[in-house]
Chain A
Amino acid sequence: MRFLTARRRHPAAKALVLVFALLVMGALYSALAPSSKSAADTSTSQQVEEGRALFAVSCASCHGLNGEGQTEGTIQGPPLIGVGAAAVEFQVATGRMPMARPGPQAEVKASEFTEEETLALAAYVASLGPGPAIPEPADYDPAGLSEEEIARGGELFRTNCSACHNFEGAGGALPNGKYAPSLFGVSNLHLFEAMLTGPQQMPVFSNGVLTVDDKRAIIGYLNELHEQPSRGGLALGGLGPVSEGLWAWLAGLGVLVLFAIWIAAKGVKAR
């Protein structure tokens, strides 16, 4: 301490103390001040506000003003707390939500909202509770997959998906008017989100179990499969015995019946 007290009147002392105090303040500020997120937060919270306004107008009549859901009354909707942004993006961007009318299953139609509005709604619902976020393009873009990975995607597809969605993704029927939709023409993002969130009757295939790479492989397989032209003649929707049987019974047997009638007909007589 003597060393300091002896030099307290040194001409440089004032400047050094000032520098020291500044350093301490700077360190304290960086440790205690709110992190730099605050700048980004303003735009997100603005998005959430926009989403809240849209939600109140378009979704609240079924899902409740705060997304708490309605389980009583004639108009019902499940709670949306914790479903995450991915579920909202999937349901709204594919036009399934808002539903045109109550029914066994929400149908695909043209989306009611612009992309910005969809993202605002997603941000608002995501703010209600933690849930899966909208995946990044790197997660669902199958570009660069090797042949082996695509073949593996095929194995995963046949094991996990083909039971409902048919072996080439043409979709299929479920009880009581429900159905597994066709996967033809579904965007990679929506394929990924459907697996991630399990919309409606579809089960969830979370990233912790069916990994992001597995999902990418499945998407890669579907793209590959749907790009290939069907070389077996008329595919008849790829539905197997249903459409083929219908064709055989109506067209095939119908023609045979006409022939049989012609063979047995008496024909024109001279009198």
Chain B
Amino acid sequence: MSDLQRHGATDHELATVDSERFPVPDPGEPEHLPRLTDIDEAAANRATRQVATMFGLVPILALIFVVCYFAVPKDAVVDFGPLHTPAQHVIFGLTLGLALLLIGTGAIQWARQLMDDHEMVDHRHGAASSNEDREYVITELEKGIDESGITRRKVLGASLLGALGLVALPGVVLLADLGPWPTRKFLERTLETTIWKEGIRLVNDVTYTPIKAEQVQIGQLINAQPENLQDFHGTEFLQEKAKASIIVVRMNPNTIKIPESRKDWHVGGILCYSKICTHVGCPISLWEQQTHHLLCPCHQSTFDLGDSGLVVFGPAARALPQLPITVDAEGYLVARDGFDVPTGPSYFERDSRNDFKRGDN
């Protein structure tokens, strides 16, 4: 059976012919049974009344809405059980919501009970045009090409293609100024560096008070920032804060793993890590002081701060960067150096070979 023939055939005919594709015969449409409202005039009247009542309530609700809009004072409050809401909000929501609901239910009830309910089948027709139409279009197109002379004077077509192609160039070039070019140098200056450097004090976030090493107890967590963050303002402040935020924790140095290469990165068990998750950059400070696990609330990445910030669970792929710290002459915590790897989430050009991996020492 060809495609063209199949277009004309109904499903029922197909089923009888094509027993391989439709082994079970199509039962067809069920017999139409009348509804109560079709045979009982009283039932039909009742349904009519129901629908009309629903539609009739809508203008009343709309009027209540309008009246309450002006009559109910703005600061009136409904205090009912767990509900504490401005009275206007409750009234507006109830009246308008109920009005829309009544229009909808009324319309459906109308269709279900009173409109004709005979089921009908409308077969889809083929999407292709008729053969005459297709042939006509082809001949017209060929006639047009022939009349334009492009087949004889090829330079016309070539120059038009060139014109259309290159006129797009200025538009593409304009895109170049949507942002800075992500060159190696630019990334090194921005994404890959923070304002941490040798001798910068660690200070409490919000209060900017410096942190004395002797005041930090085992099990302590401090959300901290570099002291020089205060020198920045506006957008720059936020950009630097987003990269330089740290958490400082103190653990018993005898119960945690400190690799040989990081022996002098801590002060008596006080360790400092980037606060920015290496997965997609959420700030993390859910630290369990007994397990030493740091949990990211966004996607449950878990880092073991007692083991160089290695990932123990979740989608993060890299260990949390650690900031080497020491104390200055007055006993305050200061950075030994900046971060040795870029903080924050991954990006295409990031060189991840220097990150701390399990088994490094």
Interface residues of A (CB under 8 A from B): 152, 155-156, 159-160, 163-164, 172, 174-175, 178, 198, 200-206, 208-211, 214, 229-235, 262-263, 267-271
CA distance A82 to B227 in the complex (A): 33
What residues of chain B lie closer than 8 Å to A263, measured between beta carbons?
108, 112
- Given B205, B283, B285, B289, which contacts A201 in the complex, CB threshold below 8 Å? B289
A163-B286 contact given A206-B220, A267-B112, CB 8 Å threshold = yes
Binds A, one of B80-88, B128-136, B344-352: B80-88
Question: Which residues of A are found within 8 Å of B108, using beta-carbon distances?
Answer: 262-263
B138 at the interface (CB under 8 A from A): no
- In whole angstroms, how far apart are the Cα atoms of A230 and B83 in the complex? 8
CA distance A229 to B81 in the complex (A): 12
CB <8 Å contact, A268 and B35 = yes
Write out the residue numbers on chain A whose beta carbons fall within 8 Å of the beta carbon of B288: 174-175, 178, 201
Give complex CA distance A230, B221 in Å.
31
Contact across chains for B206 and A156 when beta carbons are under 8 A apart: yes
The 8 closest A-B pairs by CB, nearest first: A208-B215, A203-B221, A201-B288, A269-B33, A229-B84, A204-B220, A204-B219, A163-B285
Q: B215-247 toward A: CB 8 Å interface, digit per residue (1/0)?
A: 111111111000000000000000000000000
Return chain B residues, CB-CB under 8 Å to A210: 204, 222
Chain A binding surface SS class: loop
Can you list 9 A-B pairs with a CB-CB distance of less than 8 A?
Answer: A152-B206, A159-B206, A172-B297, A203-B287, A204-B220, A206-B215, A210-B222, A231-B85, A270-B40
Tell me whether B206 and A201 are in contact (CB under 8 A): no
Interface residues of B in 306-345 (CB under 8 A from A): 313
> Do A214 and B290 touch across chains, with their CB atoms under 8 A apart?
no
Q: Knowing that A201-B289, A202-B289, A270-B36 are A-B contacts, what are 19 other residue pairs whose CB atoms are under 8 Å apart, sorted by A's residue number?
A: A159-B223, A163-B285, A163-B297, A172-B297, A203-B219, A203-B220, A204-B221, A205-B221, A206-B220, A209-B204, A209-B211, A214-B207, A231-B84, A231-B86, A233-B85, A234-B82, A268-B35, A269-B34, A270-B40
Known: A204-B221, A208-B212. A198 touches B85 (CB 8 A): no
A155 & B295 in contact (Cβ 8 Å cutoff)? no
CB-defined contacts of B300 to chain A, threshold 8 Å: 175
What residues on B are CB-neighbors of A155 within 8 Å?
206
> Distance in Å from the Cβ of A251 to the closest Cβ of chain B?
14
Closest CB-CB distance, B307 to chain A, in whole Å? Answer: 16
What is the total of A-B residue contacts with beta carbons within 8 Å? Answer: 107
Cβ contact within 8 Å between B216 and A203: no
Contacts of B221 in A (CB 8 A): 160, 203-205
Is A209 touching B295 in the complex (CB atoms < 8 A)?
A: no
Partner-A contacts on B (CB < 8 A): 33-36, 38-40, 77, 79, 82-86, 89, 108, 112-113, 204-207, 209, 211-212, 214-223, 249, 283-291, 293, 295, 297, 300, 302, 313
**B219–A198 CB distance below 8 A:** yes
Specify which chain B residues have a CB less than 8 angstroms from the CB of A172 in the assembled complex. 297
A156 touches B207 (CB 8 A): yes
Across-interface contacts of B204 in A (CB, < 8 A): 209-210
Expressed in whole angstroms, the minimum distance between the Cβ of A223 and any Cβ of chain B is 18
Known: A175-B293, A209-B211, A209-B216. Contact between A163 and B85, CB under 8 A?
no
A157: nearest residue on chain B (CB-CB)?
A: B206
The answer to whether A270 and B34 have CB atoms under 8 Å apart is yes
Q: How far is the CA of A27 from the CA of B135 in the complex (A)?
A: 129
Give the distance in Å from the alpha carbon of A53 to the alpha carbon of B300 in the complex. 45
In the bound complex, CA of A152 to CA of B207 (Å): 9
Cβ B206 vs Cβ A203 within 8 A: no
* Nearest B-chain residue to A131, judged by Cβ: B217
Among A206, A231, A234, A268, point to the contact of B36 (Cβ < 8 A): A268
The docked-state distance in angstroms from the alpha carbon of A205 to that of B289 is 11
In the assembly, what is the distance between CA of A202 and CA of B285, in Å? 11
Q: Is the pair A174, B295 in contact by a Cβ cutoff of 8 Å?
A: yes
Taking a contact as CB atoms under 8 Å apart, the answer to whether B35 and A198 are in contact is no
B272 → chain A, closest Cβ, in Å? 13
Closest chain A residue to B289, Cβ basis:
A203
B220 — which chain A residues lie within 8 A by C-beta?
198, 203-206, 209
A201: chain B residues at CB < 8 Å are 288-291
A263 to B286 CA separation, bound complex (whole angstroms)? 49
Give Cα A231 to B82, complex, Å: 11
> Taking CB as reference atom, which chain A residue is nearest B113?
A267
Q: Which residues of A contact B222 (CB under 8 A)?
A: 205, 209-210
Chain A min CB distance to B101 (Å): 9
A203 CB, min distance to chain B CBs, angstroms: 3
